[in-house]
Amino acid sequence: MILDEIRDELFKMQDIGYRDFNSKLIPTVKKEDMIGVRTPELRKYAKKLLKEEGVEDFLHSLPHKYFDENQLHAFIISEIKEFKLCIDELINFLPYLDNWATCDQLSPKILKKYHNDLLPHIYEWLKSDKTYTVRFGIGMLMEHFLDEDFKSEYPKMVAAVRSEEYYINMMTAWYFATALAKQYESILPFIEGNKLDTWTHNKSIQKAIESNRISAEQKNYLKGLKIKK
């Protein structure tokens, strides 16, 4: 069966040192649930599997046991070239995401060609009760809708997300820091008006100040907008 073949292949690519290092960066996944396959190897293997018959059996065998299987799954979806199929596989996979790394590396190339069709799905993802589905939705707005397709309603949607989850709030901060770099005049009122919770507000400013895309003058002004606890 393809499931056994895939797992056997992953263990052939195992790097114990890499597994031990990676496990320290991803605290929501137990070390024993990591095989330790390096990302370039997983990406290469994903492209190979996408051309093989039976890959659907792997994609629909959820939940996976190993982190590396989730990573492989994300990289396969990222290579799908048909929009509807890609969305269907995303909807199927997102509820099973359990860590920031797989969430953030799940980035289907085809989505950049279908922004109008993508937006309704982002709206739904932002309303999810699943931490990494929400994080993925915010990430998609950051990746695809901060340039020529930017609209002021998008940061309003992100600012409206309220959560106690660290991995959601960190992505929100990342979104606003990136948005300040790309759409400074449109995003600044969200910071000046304290539209975010205190932690996310300050983290957004911190990450913006660390960016090379923010001018020294802008950084000095943003520093003065930090909220003292």
Residues 138-161: pLDDT tens digits?
999 999 999 999 999 999 999 999
Instruction: Give 228's DSSP letter.
Output: P
Mean pLDDT of 38-59: 95
Q: How confident is the model at residue 45 (pLDDT cuts 50, 70, 90)?
A: very high
The residue that leads in pLDDT, 83 or 1, is 83
pLDDT for 71 beyond 90: yes
Q: According to the model, what pLDDT value does residue 137 have?
A: 98
Span 186-213, mean pLDDT? 97
For the stretch 171-199, pLDDT in tens is 999 999 999 999 999 999 999 999 999 99
- 183: Cβ–Cβ under 8 A, 6 or more apart, which residues? 146, 150, 155
The whole-number average pLDDT for the span 75-81 is 97
Amino acid identity, position 54: G
pLDDT at 206 over 90: yes
**pLDDT average, residue stretch 107-124:** 97
3-state SS assignment for residue 186: helix
Write down the domain spans for the chain.
Answer: 1-113, 119-229
Please state, for a pLDDT cut of 70, what percent of the chain lies above it.
Answer: 100
Q: Please, which residues have CB within 8 angstroms of residue 32's CB and are 6 or more apart in sequence?
A: none
Give the integer Cα–Cα distance in Å for 168 and 135.
5
- Answer whether residue 53 shows pLDDT above 90: no
Q: Tokens for 228? A: 């003292």
Q: How far apart are CA 113 and CA 134, in angstroms?
A: 22
Q: Do residues 95 and 133 lie in contact, with contact meaning Cβ atoms separated by under 8 Å? A: yes
Which option is the CATH number for 119-229: 1.25.40, 3.30.160, 3.40.462, 1.10.10?
1.25.40
Please name the residues in contact with 30: beta carbons below 8 A apart, sequence gap of 6 or more.
23
> Tokens representing 78?
């990222």
